[in-house]
Amino acid sequence: MNKHVQILLDGKGTIPIKEKYRWRQSWRFPRYVEEWFKEFCSHGHSLNVCCGRSNIGDVRIDLDPNSTATIISPYHKLPLEDCTFDRVMSDPPWYIPFFHRMWPFYELVRVCKVGGLVAYNATWIPASKSVALMDTYVRQDTDFGIASIVSVFQKYTSRFDKKSGGLTFEEVCPIDELQETLS
């Protein structure tokens, strides 16, 4: 198990997050987005990764001890079983570098049940061999403001769960690089 997750599960401390990836008020979902995700998560057992201050999701994950997380964990190594959730949502920090976007998404897919849905809010559209893209919604809260895309995927196979996206963890990105968000 990842040593940082181990530390947290032992209750011995928290993981410091780099300043630029730390939650700020401007990252809080506006009400209409919160309502959309609330409805999305109201179908079966649900997970919210990078939950921030949102209460949506039966299980919520974040690194910030001041968040609404029910489990403090880094998003690239979820301490959760394969194929557990009907609905999985995530609103990751939008500054994460290109090569840090893949494995955390594969983790969302891994813990989603076959037939379940994953909704992802970012300025990019992720991909995995295990899911089909069902819908995309463009979200822009203010005129001339930054736009993001809420992409919705359905998982159709668990074949790649142990080798998410068809690649191993080490092939996608070495763990040290994935911990870029951590101090």
Ligand X SMILES: C[S@@+](CC[C@H](N)C(=O)[O-])C[C@H]1O[C@@H](n2cnc3c(N)ncnc32)[C@H](O)[C@@H]1O
Give whichever of 92 and 116 is closer to ligand X, judged by the CB atom: 92
52 binds ligand X (CB under 6 A): yes
Give whichever of 73 and 158 is closer to ligand X, judged by the CB atom: 73
Q: Site residues for ligand X, window 113-172 (CB under 6 A)? A: none
**Amino acid type, 133:** L
Residue facing ligand X at closest CB distance:
52
Closest CB 163 distance from ligand X, rounded Å = 22
50 binds ligand X (CB under 6 A): yes
Count of other CB atoms within 10 angstroms of residue 47: 28
Closest CB 127 distance from ligand X, rounded Å = 20
99 binds ligand X (CB under 6 A): no
23 binds ligand X (CB under 6 A): yes
Nearest Cα residue to 8 out of 85, 81, 64, 82: 64
29 binds ligand X (CB under 6 A): yes
Binding marks (x or -) toward ligand X, 1..20, rule CB under 6 A? ----------------x---
Q: Which sign does the torsion angle of CA 35, 40, 44, 45 carry?
A: negative
Nearest Cα residue to 90 out of 183, 81, 76, 79: 76
Closest CB 135 distance from ligand X, rounded Å = 19
What count of residues does the chain have?
183
SS3 content of the chain, % helix, strand, coil (to 5): 25, 25, 45
Contacts of 139 (CB under 8 A, 6+ apart): 33, 121, 147, 148, 149, 150
57 binds ligand X (CB under 6 A): no
Which residues of this protein are in contact with ligand X, per CB under 6 A? 17, 21-23, 27-29, 50, 52-54, 62-64, 67, 74-75, 91-93, 181
